[in-house]
Structures are given as structure tokens and as C-alpha cells.
Amino acid sequence: MTKSVYEWAGGAAAFRRLTTVFYGHVAEDPLLAPVFAGMDADHAEHVATWLAEVFGGPAEYTARHGGHAHMATKHLGRHITEEQRRRWVNLLTDAADEAGLPTDPEFRAVFAYYIEWGTRMAILYSGDNPPPITAAPVPTWGWNQTPPWEG
């Protein structure tokens, strides 16, 4: 049986390493640091929990934080720019290397697909006319499986 993307990545520990490395770089980045100024001390852990669920791990983000609706509301009114989105993508991709996530093309393709989709959704929710926030489940990415666009 094929491992889930979550298992292939290395489980919860891998996503914690990823977000710890990533947010360490964000704090030093002149373009992104202002976006995350004043973030909760547990922010990196919350994002690790979100990513773990997205990639097929336990539904802990949903259970502990309120799922997709909660994540979407965190972006409201932030007015994320395309330049900030691209920097976020690039820093997260670099952090994946630094944190030792798998480098095989299959994993990185699924990872990049979600990161691209998720950051574009963040722009939509952060703008002046966000889509309605519903109690939709956390979107999940797997091998050859992505959630359908409902927007």
C-alpha cells in the first residue's frame, strides 16, 4: 500500500521542522515580516498542524482550531499582494529543502501544487471581496488527488 503524502513527508515532525525553519526566515524577511508581525507564538505549530491535515494526516487542525473556516478567517483584510505570495512560496520551498522534506519529483509536485493553490486562496480571502467562508472541510491533497474548485 502506498504511503499518504503526510507519511511520505515524514509525518507531523517533518511539518513542524518545515514551519519552524520557514517562520524563522519569515521573521527576517523585509517583505513578509510585516505581514506576520505580532503573530501568535504558536503560529508555526498551527500551520504545521494545518499542513499535516492537508496532506492526509490526522484531522487535528479541524478538531483543535475549527478547520477550513478558521484558516480562511485568518486571512480576511490582510490584503496580501502577489509579490508577498510569491515570496511566501519561494521561502517555503527553500524551507522544505532546509528541513529535509523529500526531494523526489512526485512529492515536490504535490507539495508545490498545494502551496500554489493555498497561497492563491489566501489572496482571495485577504482581498476586498472575499468569497463566502463556509464550514467546508479542510482540503486534502494526495497522490493524483486534489479537491475540486468550487469558487
Interatomic CA distance for residues 35 and 42, integer angstroms: 16
Residue 114: per-residue pLDDT: 94
Greater confidence (142 vs 9) lies with: 9
The mean per-residue pLDDT over the stretch 137-144 comes to: 86
Instruction: Tell how far CA 3 is from the center of its chain.
Output: 20
Q: DSSP letters along 46-101, please?
A: HHHHHHHHHTTS-SHHHHHH-HHHHHHHTTTT----HHHHHHHHHHHHHHHHHTT-
* Structure-block grid coordinates of residue 120: 492563491
Residue 148 pLDDT exceeds 70: no
Q: Which of 133, 107, 111, 109 is CA-nearest to residue 122? A: 133
In CATH, which superfamily holds the domain spanning 5-126?
Globins (1.10.490.10)
Residue 76: per-residue pLDDT: 86
What residue type is assigned to position 148 of the chain? Answer: P
The mean per-residue pLDDT over the stretch 7-30 comes to: 97
Residues 6+ away with beta carbon under 8 Å from 104: none
- The CA R_g of the chain, rounded to the nearest whole Å, is 15
Residue 10: per-residue pLDDT: 98
Q: Which of 87, 97, 112 is CA-nearest to residue 33? A: 87
Residue 151 pLDDT exceeds 60: no
Structural domain boundaries of the chain? Answer: 5-126
Residue 146: per-residue pLDDT: 64
Q: For the chain, first and last CA: distance in Å?
A: 34
Residue with cell 464550514: 135
Interatomic CA distance for residues 63 and 80, integer angstroms: 27
Instruction: Tell how far CA 109 is from the center of its chain.
Output: 15
**Per-residue model confidence as pLDDT tens digits over 53-65:** 999 999 999 899 8
**Per-residue model confidence as pLDDT tens digits over 32-47:** 999 888 888 899 999 9
Greater confidence (151 vs 132) lies with: 132
Residue 1 pLDDT exceeds 80: no
pTM over 0.75: yes
% of the chain exceeding 90 in pLDDT: 68
